[in-house]
A and B are shown apart, each in its own frame.
Chain A
Amino acid sequence: MKHIKTINKANLKATAAKGGCGKCQASCQSACKTSCTVANQKCER
């Protein structure tokens, strides 16, 4: 494509169907304890 460069197609929708296993770290236990960012967490499945 000339006008659009897709740098990430990560399809969140696909993760919805298989997700929710709960193995990943609770987001507030990581570095912050005061402000949430969830998207910087890892999937641990």
Chain B
Amino acid sequence: MNIHEHESKELLKAYGISVPPGHTVFTVEQAMRAAETLGSPVVVVKAQIHAGGRGKAGGVKIAGSLEEVRAYAEELLGKTLVTHQTGPEGTIVRRLLIEDGCSIAKEYYLGLVVDRSSRRVVMIGSEEGGMDIEEVAASRPERIHKETIDPAIGIQTFQARRLAYAINIPGEKLGEAVKLMQALYKAFIDYDCSIAEINPLVITGEGALMALDAKLNIDENALFRQPDITLLHDPNEEDPLETEAAEYGLSYISLDGSIGCMVNGAGLAMATMDMIKLHGGEPANFLDVGGGASADKVAAAFKIILSDPRVKGILVNIFGGIMRCDVIASGVVEAARQVGLSHPLVVRLEGTNAKSGRQILADSGIGIISSDSMEDSVREIVSLVQ
């Protein structure tokens, strides 16, 4: 789960990490008042959306006067920002962070991630602050420095010091940088983060060490023990269909194609999408109905798929293991009746009670096309949609 920059900064501030003074605003008037309160000659107006790449997309503006603050706030609020992370449809800006502008003497990158290979949290530092770190890792890997952290004892001072030296933090700031790294690690653990990034970490013209940007990503599996984080959930930042699907316990991701998919299991769902593409179609979504799909869940899945106007046909692919195909078939028939079947529907059932499931589909008399192989069902739906 992503949270906003201003929220990440608030959390990190509580751990003693310095951030520029700033206020979160939702209207132009609030933006003006915030800039006045800050009273600094230069103010940064930052669009608050979850996606990265805001700077390049024009979502971060430097204002030298109140008039400029007004102009930028008017421009950004309500604007659809398209960054390399939002996809072509972009995200609407609904809130801004109005921040004290500071002069930058030096920029660094500092981040924590879960490293699968070592099964550890790894701290990453680089002198190439403010850059896309993935790009740095690809083109100048020697500029990336890492410290692997033992979960039993946490990040040790020598490790933080070694990293600070590696990225050339000036001697007089070294102690402070070590404390900051340890604070970031503590926040990462306390909030069950999967990513924590300060990019850039800066030394200002006045010599202060400060997090100019901050991004925390929280492990969704840990939300049960993170009630404060759960409150920060911003539905505006998500596809409304994805949010609705989550309420039914469905895993749904919207895509650009015309063939709606409903599959049990994440791996099989991805495989089904791949096969649609392979046969010349385009999947409209990823949808995993999970292991114990009831008729209600199937009906909800249908409604979600059909509320995407791009959908021109639906493919249901179920490999019933624990889940019985006859139960699924009844759910599909019931849902199709409830929702009204206006598009071609191909259903592939295999596994437990597949025969009786197919019989239920055949007997329904509502034009469901039944298939027993994954390949045939994909061919069928692709040709029907074209």
Q: Do A and B come from one complex?
A: no
Give the interface of B toward A (CB within 8 A).
Answer: none
